[in-house]
Amino acid sequence: PKKEIVEVTFVKANGERIKVKGKEGDSLLDIVVNNSVDLDGYGACEGTLTCSTCHLIFKKEDFDRLPDKATDEELDMLDLAYDLADTSRLGCQIIMRKDLSGLEVRVPATVNDARS
Ligand code: FES
């Protein structure tokens, strides 16, 4: 079956909104990379769960409908992220589905590369 196009808006700390497209099955990290979205330091470990730079903050209603709950590995890595919120997740662990299209996520002002 053909993969559906999904839309995601990244809202930067300075208020800038970046709306991009991806496909079902892409992670939010894939979508940032494939669209060359200019987010400082984002996705430094390329989705291997060792950096926390892909930290994103979701709206509560979106957070609650994300298909996969965070694994212990993700939670450990999130602990190292700056500006942690109750609705924080790591973008490399969020796989887009059709019903998540239109998602709006907040990009924290600063990132912490846990590898350094
Ligand atoms: Fe490094 Fe997600 S890209 S933890």
Model confidence at 111: pLDDT above 90: no
Question: Residue 115 C-alpha to ligand 1 middle, in angstroms?
Answer: 10
Question: Residue 43 C-alpha to ligand 1 middle, in angstroms?
Answer: 5
Alpha-helix runs per DSSP H in the chain: 28-34, 60-65, 72-78
Determine the atom of ligand 1 nearest the C-alpha atom of 45: 1
Pairing of strands 103-106, 55-58: antiparallel
Model confidence at 1: pLDDT above 80: no
pLDDT in tens, 16-29: 999 999 999 999 99
Tokens matching residue 70: 């965070």
Contact 4, 12 (CB under 8 A): no
pTM for the full predicted model: 0.94
Give residue ranges with CB within 6 A of ligand 1: 29, 43-45, 47, 49-54, 77, 90, 92
Question: Residue 89 C-alpha to ligand 1 middle, in angstroms?
Answer: 10
Taking residues 99-110, what's their average pLDDT? 95
Report residue 2's pLDDT band, with 50, 70 and 90 as the boundaries.
confident
Report residue 41's pLDDT band, with 50, 70 and 90 as the boundaries.
very high
pLDDT in tens, 50-102: 999 999 999 999 999 998 899 999 999 999 999 999 999 999 999 999 999 99
Report residue 113's pLDDT band, with 50, 70 and 90 as the boundaries.
confident
Determine the atom of ligand 1 nearest the C-alpha atom of 90: 2
Determine the atom of ligand 1 nearest the C-alpha atom of 53: 1
Determine the atom of ligand 1 nearest the C-alpha atom of 93: 2
